[in-house]
């Protein structure tokens, strides 16, 4: 998973900040100069007039744009992406604070907001260049930017403003450069919500405090409490009715053990199919967590993955974990042993066909009960209602340049897990 944002080279920053001609503008300037030189040598009055008019036009536009961009040097736009970005959600990003600082934009010019950076699909090592742009309608101080991603991952990007003419000849830098890191969650997966019987994982938890046991088992009187449970001595001291609570009261807590096996290829040449399998496994885990936490009021998830583990007790913990899950990459396969506590209980395993160590792991868990949720590659021509597909064309359609290596990678073979009864979903790719 990438840990830092983009750090453009000093040369790239200089070119972006100093260059004022677009490719079309540069070509127009070169052509006008060539025509002028040739016309002067040939003493062609018509060509001299034509080239001079083009150069005067370019000079006037250049002066107007440069003057205005200096006035907008302190412009600080508000780049406000949605608080929870989801793949394929087609949500628009709001850009505010483009009121031009009280200075009107010159005629034939528009203010543009541009976002560029790199997107790391499913937390992969190699990022894909991303570019998105929007223009501010004349007289408005806000704009909407379409910034969408075809799958989950992490985006490190920069947002900045450019003042451009409507003919596409000039582009002037203005405003303050902003850097952001965005977490994109997986799009919802196919299928119904999960319903499980968590009683097998229930454990007793006594509401007991060793430091102040007597106070811990008392609370303020509430209508419906028995009068004989009132502690009159304590009530007189604090002038409030206090009710005794039996120390034998216990609360059932359902502890659910989940293993997210994100093992697979680790290199800059990971295929789109492998990344899509990992993304769909993340989507199924997200649906599982949300479904169960909505049905079970008292449950604790112990989620283990290759890079660590996390305990989820409430909705807040769940949101934190889902953000972290979006950027969890593949981890190289390892020979691991499962703890004795987990081996004897019930485990919910989420994995992909890239996990070559999964069959051995299932054998190690044979003493306990394992519910396997496996994402397998879809075979060519095979049709299944549980198949989800991503297209390479979805990337350029969203302003993201796909890796050329995605066109030539070998297909992933399905895993044979006949010893268990897995719940299988299929994920495929296409051009």
Residue 425 predicted with pLDDT over 70:
yes
Bridging pattern class, strands 92-96 and 143-146: antiparallel
CA angle 34-36-42, nearest 5°? 100
Q: Distance (Å, rounded) from C-alpha 13 to C-alpha 19? A: 10
Q: Please report whether residue 344 resides in a domain.
A: yes
Q: Which residues contact 282 (CB under 8 A, 6 or more apart)?
A: 122, 152, 186, 260, 325, 326, 328
pLDDT, the chain, mean? 80
Cβ(173)–Cβ(202) under 8 Å? Answer: no
| Shared domain check, 419 and 297 | yes
| Shared domain check, 23 and 141 | yes
CATH assignment of the domain containing 16: 2.60.40.1930
Cβ(299)–Cβ(255) under 8 Å? Answer: yes
pLDDT in tens, 261-306: 999 887 778 888 999 999 999 999 999 988 888 776 677 888 998 8
Q: What is the mean pLDDT of residues 299-328?
A: 88
| Shared domain check, 409 and 374 | yes
Closest CA to 312 of 264, 259, 266, 255: 255
Cβ(399)–Cβ(132) under 8 Å? Answer: yes
Look up the domain containing 414 and give its range. Answer: 254-430
Q: Please report whether residue 3 resides in a domain.
A: no
Q: What's the burial of 424, exposed, middle or buried (CB within 10 Å: 0-12/13-18/19+)?
A: middle
Closest CA to 335 of 312, 375, 306, 367: 306
Reported pTM: 0.76
Cβ(331)–Cβ(268) under 8 Å? Answer: no
Band of pLDDT at residue 52, cut at 50, 70 and 90: very high
| Shared domain check, 14 and 150 | yes
Task: Please indicate whether residue 225 or residue 70 has the higher confidence score (pLDDT).
Answer: 70
Q: Please report whether residue 63 resides in a domain.
A: yes
Closest CA to 389 of 400, 378, 398, 399: 378
Q: Distance (Å, rounded) from C-alpha 40 to C-alpha 27? A: 20
| Shared domain check, 325 and 244 | no
| Shared domain check, 76 and 220 | no
pLDDT in tens, 136-190: 888 788 888 888 899 999 999 999 989 999 898 999 988 888 899 999 999 888 7
Residue 251 predicted with pLDDT over 50:
no
Residue 97: count other Cβ atoms within 10 Å of its Cβ: 15
Number of domains in the chain: 3
| Shared domain check, 231 and 275 | no
């Amino acid at each position: 998973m990438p840990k830092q944002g983009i750090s453009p080279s000093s040369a790239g920053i200089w070119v972006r900040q100093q260059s004022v001609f677009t490719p079309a503008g540069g070509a127009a300037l070169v052509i006008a100069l060539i025509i002028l030189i040739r016309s002067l040598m040939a003493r062609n009055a018509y060509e001299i007039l034509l080239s001079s008019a083009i150069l005067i036009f370019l000079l006037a536009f250049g002066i107007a744009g440069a003057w205005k961009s200096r006035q907008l040097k302190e412009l600080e736009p508000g780049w406000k992406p949605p608080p929870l970005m989801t793949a394929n959600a087609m949500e628009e990003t709001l850009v505010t604070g483009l009121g031009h600082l009280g200075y009107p934009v010159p005629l034939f010019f528009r203010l543009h907001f541009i976002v560029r950076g790199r997107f790391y699909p499913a937390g992969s090592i190699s990022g894909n260049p991303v570019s998105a742009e929007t223009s501010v309608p004349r007289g408005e101080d806000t704009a909407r930017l379409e910034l969408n991603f075809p799958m989950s991952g992490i985006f490190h990007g920069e947002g900045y403003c450019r003042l451009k003419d409507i003919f596409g000849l000039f582009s002037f830098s203005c405003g303050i450069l902003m850097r952001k890191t965005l977490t994109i969650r997986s799009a919802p997966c196919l299928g119904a919500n999960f319903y499980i019987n968590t009683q097998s994982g229930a454990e007793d938890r006594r509401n007991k405090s060793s430091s102040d046991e007597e106070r811990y088992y008392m609370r303020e009187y509430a209508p419906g409490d028995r009068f004989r449970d009132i502690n009159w001595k304590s009530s007189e001291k604090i002038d409030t009715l206090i009710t005794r609570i039996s120390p034998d009261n216990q609360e059932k807590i359902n502890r659910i053990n989940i293993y997210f096996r994100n093992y697979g290829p680790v290199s800059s040449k990971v295929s789109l199919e492998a990344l899509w399998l990992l993304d769909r496994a993340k989507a199924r885990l997200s649906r599982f967590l949300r479904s169960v936490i909505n049905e079970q009021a008292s449950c604790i998830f112990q989620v283990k993955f290759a890079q660590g583990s996390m305990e989820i007790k409430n909705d807040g913990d769940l949101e934190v974990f889902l953000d972290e899950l979006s950027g969890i990459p593949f981890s190289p396969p390892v020979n691991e042993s499962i703890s004795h506590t987990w081996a004897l209980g019930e485990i919910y395993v989420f994995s992909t066909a890239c996990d070559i160590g999964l069959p051995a792991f299932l054998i190690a868990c044979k003493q306990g009960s394992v519910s396997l949720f496996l994402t397998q590659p879809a075979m060519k021509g095979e049709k299944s209602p549980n198949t989800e597909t991503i297209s390479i064309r979805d990337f350029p359609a969203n302003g993201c340049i796909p890796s050329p290596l995605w066109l030539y990678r070998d297909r992933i073979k399905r895993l044979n897990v006949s010893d268990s009864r897995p719940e299988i979903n299929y994920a495929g790719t296409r051009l």
